[in-house]
Amino acid sequence: MIKAGIEKILSLGGYKDQVINGRTYANGPSGILPILPPKAETLTINTLTGIKDYAPGTGEMLHVVDHKTVNVISEDYSDKWLTRNTYLTAVHESPVFKFGQYVDVENFIIALQAMFVQDDTTALMLKLVGNIKDDGVSNFNDDGVTQVVTAKTGISLVNNVPVPNPVTLRPYRTFMEIEQPASTFVFRIKGNKGEAPYCALFEADGRMWRLHAIKKIREWLEFEIPGVKIIA
């Protein structure tokens, strides 16, 4: 009925059906247009658990697109146009740290606490960054809980604490059901006299963490939803 309705509308505009290699086109004033079969709207969720709840069945498989996207799609082509149905898509969403960009000390401390898995390395960095002195402006003594500010001159570190490099951190970058992949970063501090210091993290692993995340997603899906075909 839907196809008949579309054909009726097209015919009123001067279009006529034309079948080429088993596929139906509308031939008219604007050229030859494909008449595609209707598809259901793709459901969108934000967790891997949602895929488990959906319970993919016969004729469906899982496609791990990247570290933050997994689709439930039809295993075989659904029509003569050789397209697949995408029934469900899981997309991870979380705030992203601005790697490769210098930010002020306060925002760096907030981001380090809010956007990374907390461990011994983040604790060391919080202690380090919280004790940066900025000559001509102030001395930041901030461990994330208390803060003391006093006037000083030039950039230095309280107690001459060395800057660790590279550092291994685990930012929140993929689905929360799996362990966040660790990767190495170059940690830098810069600033001029009379100016507040800035901190930055530069990615130093060639983004290998993405492959690790995809592997972990596949392992989670295989364990939680056994028997379903997975492309990763």
Residue 85 or 192, more confident: 85
Residue 44 has pLDDT above 50, yes or no: yes
Q: Are 52 and 117 within one domain?
A: no
Q: Are 192 and 110 within one domain?
A: yes
Could you give the CA distance from residue 43 to residue 89 in angstroms, rounded to a whole number?
6
Q: Are 119 and 66 within one domain?
A: no
Q: Are 48 and 141 within one domain?
A: no
Residue 144: per-residue pLDDT:
43
**Amino acid found at 149:** V
Residue 219 has pLDDT above 60, yes or no: yes
Domain interval for residue 112: 103-205
Q: Is the pTM higher than 0.85? A: no
Q: Are 76 and 23 within one domain?
A: no
Q: Are 149 and 224 within one domain?
A: no
Q: Count H helices, E strands: the chain?
A: 5, 16
Q: Are 38 and 49 in contact (CB under 8 A)?
A: no
Residue 203: per-residue pLDDT:
96
User: Across all residues in the chain, what is the average pLDDT?
Assistant: 82
Work out the pLDDT band at 26, boundaries 50, 70, 90: confident
Q: Are 83 and 19 within one domain?
A: no
Among 1-5, 51-55, 77-81, 155-159, whose mean pLDDT is lowest?
155-159
Q: Are 108 and 137 within one domain?
A: yes
Overall number of domains in the chain: 3
Q: Is 22 exposed, middle or buried (0-12, 13-18, 19+ CB in 10 A)?
A: exposed
Strands 60-66 and 23-28, sheet pairing: unpaired
Q: Is 156 helix (H, G, I), strand (E, B) or coil?
A: strand
Q: Are 172 and 131 within one domain?
A: yes
Q: Are 151 and 185 within one domain?
A: yes
Torsion over CA: 59, 65, 66, 67 (sign):
negative
The DSSP letter of residue 116 is B
Q: Are 76 and 119 within one domain?
A: no
Find how far residue 114's CA is from the centre of its chain. 16
Q: Are 67 and 29 within one domain?
A: no
